[in-house]
A and B are shown apart, each in its own frame.
Chain A
């Protein structure tokens, strides 16, 4: 057993690009589901909007990288308006159905043959981040004991502060009267309307804000792979983000980061640990685990852990038990 490798690999994942963009995606969902009570099950669509907004603008239309970043965010805002306009007047379950379906529709349209020339089809689009990586001040060699590649270090040095900004904006908004209105909408929309608040517009603002956070997640994801691919933005993206949000603690400002670091860290730990244990012959013969099944077994383990968490700690890691008790009253 190489414990050095296990911990290095776990640490690398826990502060790596995966943890970073899932934290962003979950921060967006936290605004939607946690604070406003908008059941958005299509966060992947906002991720795709950001990533493809950037990639298509650079690769297909030759826009500069920096302008394309804003185009990515703009696309996610337009998407929020398009999804929100017909659904936000209805009960929140309709939003869940529409966002889930919209995310799949967007994925299927993007991978369709018809638009390959523009959107890249199933091959996706590459080489849109050159302008960003040209600015990389880190040269060859390994950084920190965690052994990131120089371009990864450069991305992380830019992306984690972005996470901090996102959490700061969330914090500032949720302690303000704006946050009070949004949280009140989650509790009972009609009561808020009767008190003179335009709940429709608040929900739209919330959808746009969380959507922009989702778009940032998609952009960091795309930059870490240096490629966009339609199937990266499937339901798995959304539901991993939901799991991360719940794990960290719904409606907690730093919940998404805590959830993401732990979720991705544990996933990686199990992966390397199980492989090492099998190699070292520590798994007895009657346990049906081999190296080929590790990727699945760790997901089973994580799934079971989440089920136990929901039973014994439904408020998540940072949540407040009292709130769950009052909700169940």
Chain B
């Protein structure tokens, strides 16, 4: 697998925090969230390009998940606003956010254990007549729609290779299968923007490859993907653009290759280990220290671009 060349817009715009994108689907302005004395999120300006895969990286506690929670209505900011697809979504409750075409997944997978895989999927469909109290009592009102939804769900299960567990309880699936199910279920909403919170966490390498191709497939189908991830292989492999968050602020933005070489990012997040091939921080070390750094590292040093070759 080779890494796709970055899209042309990513190379032509400046690689700096808050940079304007040619066709943004999500525009965040001055969003602040304070937990007691801690300023968890303090994003001045951030744009997410439509139809691209944007990675949100940063150290633990940088505010990535909090930002997700704010944007999807699961938490309320102290100040700030954001627009999604030209609509102001600030203050819109979580359940209405999905209707606007923005759907999220969770860091800890939320499969609905005592519902079957198929029921999990069908739950994702919006505007169901049978979900209204009085309508629910009269099956003829919703039987046709239910059938359509089931066909759509079956197609997605086929694509995510979950057809064989269609009628199992979701609680009986493996951790990886639950990740797949959660992503497939989110697609039942037919979103424009999919927000994935650590989609690859705790997933074995083979399944990771399959998840990666699913995420790329979303982009091919014209969806926008914003995802939080710690696995830099994944970030380098699939993202068109990377946003780095540290202590609640956007400290850097750019295509993956530029991010890997950015001294601020190396300092705050990647560590000198990732700087091989252009990082200043590593360059400042003497040859012996350089060796030490490599020994301390958790595996092969990553070079932007070649890491995910299998």
Contacts and interface: CB of A to CB of B under 8 A. Distances in A.
A187 B113 CA distance: 6
A122 to B, nearest CB: 39
B72 to A, nearest CB: 7
Contacts of B135: 178
A169 interface: yes
A198 interface: yes
A17 interface: no
B173 to A, nearest CB: 10
Given A173-B136, A177-B146, A327-B114, A195 B171 contact: no
B104 interface: yes
Interface residues of A, number: 30
Contact of B189 (A172, A184, A187, A195): A195
Contacts of A195: 98, 103, 123-124, 126, 185-186, 188-189
B interface residue count range (under 10 / 10 to 19 / 20 to 34 / 35 or more)? 35 or more
Nearest to A199: B95
B166 to A, nearest CB: 15
B142 interface: yes
B64 interface: no
Contacts of B142: 176-177
A196 B136 contact: no
B99 interface: yes
B132 interface: yes
B147 interface: no
Contacts of A169: 137
Given A177-B122, A195-B123, A323 B96 contact: no
Contact of A194 (B106, B114, B172): B106
A183 interface: yes
B112 interface: yes
Interface string A194-217: 111111000001000000000000
Contact of A177 (B120, B128, B171): B128
Given A194-B103, A194-B104, A178 B113 contact: no
B133 A194 contact: no
Nearest to A177: B130
Contact of B131 (A181, A188, A326): A181
A323 to B, nearest CB: 6
B29 interface: no
Contacts, number: 112
Contacts of B130: 176-178
Contacts of A323: 114, 169
A225 interface: no
A178 B131 CA distance: 4
B94 A176 contact: no
Contacts of A184: 112, 115, 119-120, 123
A248 B139 CA distance: 27
A100 B185 CA distance: 37
A299 to B, nearest CB: 32
Among B74, B124, B186, B188, the most chain A Cβ lie within 10 Å of the Cβ of B124
Contact of B98 (A173, A180, A186, A196): A196
Contacts of A188: 110, 112
Interface in B90-110: 93-99, 103-106, 110
Interface in B147-178: 169, 171-172
B284 to A, nearest CB: 45
A179 B122 CA distance: 12
A236 to B, nearest CB: 30
Nearest to B100: A196
A172 B137 contact: yes
B133 to A, nearest CB: 5
Nearest to A328: B171
Nearest to A173: B136
Interface string A17-33: 00000000000000000
Contacts of A178: 130-133, 135-136
B3 to A, nearest CB: 31
A289 interface: no
Contacts of A194: 72, 74, 94, 98, 103-106, 110, 186
A196 B110 contact: no
Contacts of B133: 173, 178, 205
Contacts of B113: 187, 326-327, 329
A179 B115 CA distance: 11
Given A176-B137, A180-B131, A198-B93, 12 more contacts: A173-B133, A176-B142, A177-B146, A178-B135, A183-B114, A183-B119, A194-B105, A194-B186, A195-B98, A196-B99, A196-B189, A329-B171
Closest 7 CB pairs of A and B: A196-B98, A178-B136, A177-B130, A176-B136, A191-B110, A326-B171, A187-B112
Interface of B: 72, 74, 93-99, 103-106, 110-115, 119-120, 122-124, 126, 128-133, 135-137, 139, 142, 146, 169, 171-172, 182, 185-186, 188-189
